[in-house]
Amino acid sequence: MEKITSFTINHLKLLPGIYVSRKDQAGDSVITTFDIRMTRPNFEPVMNTAEIHTIEHLGATFLRNHEFFSSRILYFGPMGCRTGFYLLLSGDYKSGDIVPLITEMYEFMRDFEGEVPGAAARDCGNFLDMNLGMAKYLAGKFLESVLYGIDDDQLIYPEG
């Protein structure tokens, strides 16, 4: 079997950032898949499921309600390795195109107060696995360490 594209990226060189993971054609539309990498793979601890789950709920809610991008959002969810998230957008984008959107989303998460959207038994299959405090902390850390000073090393996958 052929390796899938995401397994061909050298994770030992991969820094936290925003990367175009792939582009697919769906009929007349281009679907851009983004790798939103919050922790450095194999160097930093991975995120726990409770904060990942909380970030997923907050991020999906924010994105699906965004004034400009809501109609372009196809999916936002965690990576199995627990180092980041995938965002699928309808349209042909580069990583730099969505830095303002991702910054706005992480500011929303960092500043969020109240009940996590969808964190109820009726709305979620594992509603007790949430950690808002840690999700807010990680969102703030990602903003400060990556998004507010992002450069090409954090927007383009490393070679080899």
Domain ranges across the chain = 5-154
Say if residue 3's pLDDT is above 80. no
Class of domain 5-154: alpha beta
Dihedral pair phi/psi, residue 47, rounded to 5°: -80, 150
* Distance, CA of 56 to CA of 50 (rounded, Å): 10
Confidence at residue 4, expressed as pLDDT on a 0 to 100 scale: 74
Please name the residues in contact with 122: beta carbons below 8 A apart, sequence gap of 6 or more: none
* Distance, CA of 106 to CA of 16 (rounded, Å): 14
Say if residue 11's pLDDT is above 80. yes
**pTM of the complete model:** 0.94
Residue type, 137: Y
* Distance, CA of 46 to CA of 118 (rounded, Å): 24
